Amino acid sequence: MALNKLALIRYKTIDHCLRLRHRKWTLEDLMEKVSDALYEFEGIKNGISKRTIQGDIQLMRSNKLGYNAPIVVLHRKFYTYEDPNYSISNSPISVGDMQKMKEAVEVLKHVSGFSSFDEMSDIVARLEDSIHTKKDNSPSIIQMESNNLLKGLTFISPLHQAIREKTPLLISYQSFKATQQQDLVFSPYLLKEYRNRWFLIGQHKKSEGLMTLALDRINAIEEMGKNSYKEYTGVDFERYFSDTIGVTKTQKDRGHRVILEVNAKNAPYVATKPLHSSQQILDKKEDGSILIRIDVVLNFELEREILGFGESIKVLSPRNLQTRIKQRLAAATQLYAEKSVDKTSNSQNE
């Protein structure tokens, strides 16, 4: 049974009253205290009914919420806890709740790049320890993909704050192609994750278009005066990346109609796990293979996705993408051919 906020306020107020042993509590007293609490915390002025309080007491007594509260009535009038040490705050956690907490801990541990979760790390650790203490150390049933060795994760939190507060940054950045780092005056707009790697999308002071920076290539960031911040005036980023696999895209790029032939062995996989949200199945052949269409920007991530299927996928159109994939497959084949030649040559020399 899910608890809403108002119900939780009522239960906690009743619990607080019944723990005060120096006073005798009538139903009317509990109604008054609960009404006061609802007004204090939620601004609700119309009070609470006797029927609601009676229902709350019945629920607290039951196992539906896991409380099993030992609420008794003395002299047919006064409510109290039979066990003077009881509180709903001390009630044991159910097995179902325990499993949900374990799963929540795994999720919290996964998003470790944000400072809000860094500040919670000790709480998460204590919660995890408590869970294992109260329950047998069963294996986790959630395993999320992560790479804690990836550089740049420490920048996530300050970049997130800079985006929220519209603060321009001086970013020391060195791409894989550059021989030395460059300093960019950068207005950040969006943090985006793709395949466990984080990227920052924004605008360089000396450029009109959007620029994408990989966080693992950032060496340092420094806040600058807010007067140099460039507001983003383009379409919202949900729409901007709706035709994109990955993060590589310029504002001039548009989606293309890409037709792919998937062999019978991989057809069920691609049909149930689409390459992109625009995927359509155009034809199912007698041999089990399928033709699919996706409408996406032609970028590096798309090529890598297609190449990942090897001989299982064939590009039918557009022609320039087909040519590009053929060239890369030919280069890969040549790479293995050269190794074979070297091995044969070495054997002959021996």
Does residue 86 share a domain with residue 107?
no
Rounded average pLDDT over 239-253: 93
Of residues 136 and 331, the one with the higher pLDDT is 331
147, part of any domain: no
Q: What is the CATH number of the domain that holds 63?
A: 1.10.10
Tokens, residue 156: 């996530």
Confidence label for 103 from pLDDT (cuts 50, 70 and 90): low
Can you tell me the distance from the alpha carbon of 200 to that of 212, in angstroms, rounded to the nearest whole number?
A: 6
187, part of any domain: yes
Rounded average pLDDT over 102-129: 57
Does residue 284 share a domain with residue 306?
yes
So what's the pLDDT on residue 141?
57
The domain boundary, picked from 134, 162, 191, lies at 134
Question: What's the structural domain count of the chain?
Answer: 4
So what's the pLDDT on residue 2?
44
User: Is 224 within 8 Å of 172 (Cβ atoms)?
Assistant: no
Q: What is the CATH number of the domain that holds 221?
A: 2.30.30
So what's the pLDDT on residue 275?
96
Give the β-pairing of 197-204 and 210-214: antiparallel
182, part of any domain: yes
Does residue 85 share a domain with residue 42?
yes
pTM of the model: 0.61
Can you tell me the distance from the alpha carbon of 273 to that of 275, in angstroms, rounded to the nearest whole number?
A: 7
User: Is 134 within 8 Å of 183 (Cβ atoms)?
Assistant: no
Quick check: 157 pLDDT over 70? Answer: yes
Does residue 224 share a domain with residue 180?
yes
Residue located via tokens 């047998």: 136
User: Is 278 within 8 Å of 335 (Cβ atoms)?
Assistant: no
Of residues 222 and 178, the one with the higher pLDDT is 222
342, part of any domain: no
Quick check: 136 pLDDT over 60? Answer: no
Does residue 102 share a domain with residue 68?
no
User: Is 194 within 8 Å of 247 (Cβ atoms)?
Assistant: yes
Q: What is the tens place of the pLDDT at every residue in 10-51?
A: 999 999 999 998 899 999 999 999 999 999 888 888 889 999
- The boundaries of the domain holding residue 197 are 153-234
| Burial per residue of 42-73, b for 16 or more beta-carbon CB atoms within 10 angstroms, e otherwise | eeeeeebeeeebeebbebbeeeebebebebee
